[in-house]
Chains A and B, each alone.
Chain A
Amino acid sequence: MSDSSTRHPMTGNEMSAAAEGGIERHQYDVIVIGAGGSGLRAAIAAHDSGAKVAVVCKSLLGKAHTVMAEGGAAAAMGNLYPEDNWQVHFRDTMRGGKMLNNWRMAQLHAQEAPERVMELEDWGALFDRTADGLISQRDFGGHRYARLAHIGDRTGLEMIRTLQQRLVALGIDVYMECTVTDLLKAPTDSGADRIAGAFGYWRETGRFIVFETPAVVLATGGFGKAWKVTSNSWEYTGDGHALALRAGATLINMECVQFHPTGMVWPPSVKGLLVTESVRGDGGVLKNSEGERFMFNHIPEYFRAETADTIEEADRWYEDKKNNRRPPELLPRDEVARAINAEVKAGRGTPHGGVYLDIASRRTPEFIKKRLPSMYHQFKELADVDITKEPMEIGPTCHYAMGGVEVDPETEMSVVPGLYSVGECSGGMHGSNRLGGNSLSDLIVFGKRAGDAAAAYAASNGIPSVSEDDVEQAKRSALAPFELEGGENPYAIQSDLQQTMQDLVGIIREGAELEEAISRIETFKQRIAQMTVEGHRQYNPGWHLAIDLRNMLLVSEAVAKAALARQESRGGHTRNDFPGPDPEWGRKNLVVSLDAEGTGVDLREQALPEMPDDLKKFFEE
């Protein structure tokens, strides 16, 4: 229990965790949840703006999912193509998202990405160079010019290490292997509750911890772990999405889930593991079992004018972008994933149910090893495939959540005062489909904005007091899985949920299947209420999963319900029963909020913000 007399006179911290039932307490101006690229960038910005800030993360510092990003960070720096600029990047991003993006976020992103990338270099990142010594830029799907700042195919690792080292140099506090399970709120005069803190537990000891803070930045990434075949790690359980919903915030774009076209399909142990789009950016092509470069048969009308329709033109483009159009292998990810899916369904798949991705016959072994060292290593070590000699077998894998917390584009604040969201756990920026390379730049652009805004908010709103009843409630809720005996194992429920999402809310969807998914989600809710974990609170993965599973389930319901409501196909949302885009649906978002009982979600339609005329002109042709 809180007792102000036992607090440290200067920090206000209370360290009573060792006592029986004790809770460790800390006060900060800003708490950032998540230590990937966006969380670290937000923390650095808040610190630079004068706030006392801490990062709280489920894993060790430097292990977040950002390390898995391979290709690069999209930024119109114009180092290779001086004709590239923010306007072109903005246009590519909006078209890639099939115009469902929040235009202002897409604009800010395109405008600010180059300076954010340069900052990484100031902080020690060693990007690959052009012949002139500038930051090199690489081709990627949906980007008109070579635009991705990169380091071989391990750009995410470089970004996280750079930000991590900066964070350490600045002396910012980090609470590693610490999971936040609830956000705490306090009433205000205006009637709307504002953020008052966060409640969580140390994974190592199972002890509870309370952060008292006026501002929380959610930077928890996505929720791909709700699917069976995914490129995402165990951490991706939609924690930020669910915390936001429970705190009264809203989510948008939840029906739009990106299936990356190229995940490994063999061996089963690594099914879903990402194969970077850089393979195609650097010349790799897709072939079916008949040896045909099938992407030429799948060019959608929307991109026909800017896509090469012969192999000769496509191959010339790598050297001469002015006089040739892009190869169809470099269409946006949603288009390529659907095409692969269609080829496999038509019986032209590989022995393990994928298609071939071939760079061996197109580039020299030296080039491949230099440009794609991680991929070379990954296939050699995990699949016994030498990608300089033979094609890879690949297929779509659940990769990225376009959907996330609805935020103000300038500050990244949600509808809950003091609650911010950035990176994959925010919505709007990528519309219905994200272009490759736009994630890493998203992290640093909006991470900085949120950190700045949260620090300013904290400066003008003091630390509110946390309700002890809320803390007690959060404790009870976290310990619930230990209360029951003889209940179900959380691993079994997670596995069934993943199978359901894979089968019924996958890359191609249908009304009846989505309805079936929603009804199964209701039965999962009953099952998680009867869940039991064995052992005690110290580093107990069964307990950790039991807590994360609740988030995964709430987010899965949001995806399934939004997918059922949006009766059209657009970007990362494809309906068999509504195969084309519908201009009516193209003008609105589906907004998800927690229902009145607090056990599920409600949906409402909301008009997209209108783009100003001076930006509309980029889309008139």
Chain B
Amino acid sequence: MTELTEASTSSGYQLKMRIWRGDADGGSLGDYTVEVSEGEVVLDALHRVQATQAGDLAIRWNCKAGKCGSCSAEINGKPRLLCMTRLSDFDPAETITVTPMRSFPVIRDLVTDVSYNYEKARELPGVELGPRDADGKRRMMQVDVERGQEFRKCIECFLCQNTCHVVRDHEDNKPAFAGPRFFLRYAELDMHPLDTRDRRETVRDQAGIGLCNITKCCTEVCPEGIKITDNAIIPMKERVADKKYDPLVWLGNKIGLRNKDNDGRTAT
């Protein structure tokens, strides 16, 4: 605990914050000064503003432990979780500016309308496993579930969706683009050892994986450290390309010999 002993000698200070206040009709940054103490995170400071200066300051949050992904916002312009951003990462003299996620419509203050993500979730064909083994159990090897497990660490904070420039800079792409969070989900299902569906056409035609040009912005902001681009999107793009451009697959489909792929999956 040596680091802590050192830290405990520092005391509280007055933090200057600029917080975006407003709603769908517009808003502006408001200035606040609030007492903070060591070990605190940005969400603590916002809560203190809420409890003592602005009772109606809207913040979406739940677990305050980086596990639920509710408190996504932009801190000094960087997309982050409010509960996992420590004040000790900033100089005490620095003013911390907190704004709502930019890619989603504002509801009020720091709360945005993230329904885009829930709509995209509905468009995705869910898991479909074959029957259980004769003894009523299923068997999968740890090594085979681990790739999917990495993707299932996703806490749905939607920071990747917020950051992805395909929608951040081009609102009109939203209908045709599911975003990194759902490419992750497609990859997870595609790599599920027992799933029987083929979603490669869906991920290309409906989810728009082709629009992604792998700039890795999503990976950089993922609070769970999931390698979204390298481990999910790039393998998915490769699988989609294999299917589309393999001449034997093309011929088989054309003459009606194949309605399943090499892994026995049926197209959705």
Give residues in A with beta carbon < 8 Å to B.
59-65, 67-68, 79, 118, 121-124, 126-129, 132-136, 151-152, 154, 157-158, 161, 165-166, 168-169, 171, 176, 204, 233-235, 266-270, 273-274, 350-352, 373-374, 377-378, 381-385, 390, 393, 489-492, 495, 533-536, 538-543
- The total of chain B residues at the interface (CB under 8 A) is 65
Query: With a CB–CB cut-off of 8 A, which chain B residues contact A61?
Result: 118
**Chain A nearest Cβ from B221, distance in angstroms:** 15
A118-B132, A538-B107 known, 8 other contacts, Cβ within 8 Å = A59-B68, A60-B60, A124-B127, A165-B126, A165-B127, A382-B84, A393-B1, A538-B23
Known A269-B44, A382-B84; judge A351-B1 contact (CB<8 A). yes
Known A169-B126, A273-B65, A489-B55; judge A67-B40 contact (CB<8 A). no
8 interchain residue pairs of minimum CB distance: A267-B39, A535-B56, A542-B55, A124-B127, A133-B139, A169-B126, A491-B51, A539-B108
Give residues in B with beta carbon < 8 Å to A.
1, 3-5, 7-8, 23, 37-41, 44, 50-52, 55-70, 84, 86, 107-109, 111, 113-114, 118, 121-122, 126-127, 129, 132, 136-142, 145, 148-149, 152-156, 189, 192, 195
**Chain A nearest Cβ from B8, distance in angstroms:** 8
B152 touches A161 (CB 8 A): yes
Cα(A124)–Cα(B145), bound, Å = 11
Q: Which of A127, A382, A539 contacts B86 (CB 8 A)?
A: A382
Known A168-B121, A268-B39, A384-B7; judge A67-B67 contact (CB<8 A). yes
Query: With a CB–CB cut-off of 8 A, which chain B residues contact A64?
Result: 62
A126 touches B145 (CB 8 A): yes
Q: Which of B55, B107, B126 contacts A168 (CB 8 A)?
A: B126
Query: With a CB–CB cut-off of 8 A, which chain B residues contact A390?
Result: 1
Query: With a CB–CB cut-off of 8 A, which chain A residues contact B142?
Result: 128-129, 133, 136
Query: With a CB–CB cut-off of 8 A, which chain B residues contact A154?
Result: 67, 153
Query: With a CB–CB cut-off of 8 A, which chain B residues contact A161?
Result: 152, 154, 156
Query: With a CB–CB cut-off of 8 A, which chain A residues contact B66?
Result: 377-378, 381-382
Known A122-B132, A124-B126, A382-B86; judge A157-B155 contact (CB<8 A). yes
B140 touches A540 (CB 8 A): no
Query: With a CB–CB cut-off of 8 A, which chain A residues contact B148?
Result: 126
Query: With a CB–CB cut-off of 8 A, which chain A residues contact B154?
Result: 161
8 A–B contacts, CB within 8 A, in A order = A64-B62, A65-B62, A118-B138, A157-B155, A161-B154, A270-B65, A274-B65, A381-B84
Cα(A540)–Cα(B21), bound, Å = 12
B23 touches A63 (CB 8 A): no
Query: With a CB–CB cut-off of 8 A, which chain A residues contact B84?
Result: 381-382
**Chain B nearest Cβ from A531, distance in angstroms:** 11
Q: Which of A126, A151, A158 contacts B192 (CB 8 A)?
A: A126
Query: With a CB–CB cut-off of 8 A, which chain B residues contact A269?
Result: 39-41, 44
Q: Which of A59, A132, A267, A543 contacts B38 (CB 8 A)?
A: A267
Known A133-B139, A269-B40, A270-B39; judge A534-B70 contact (CB<8 A). no
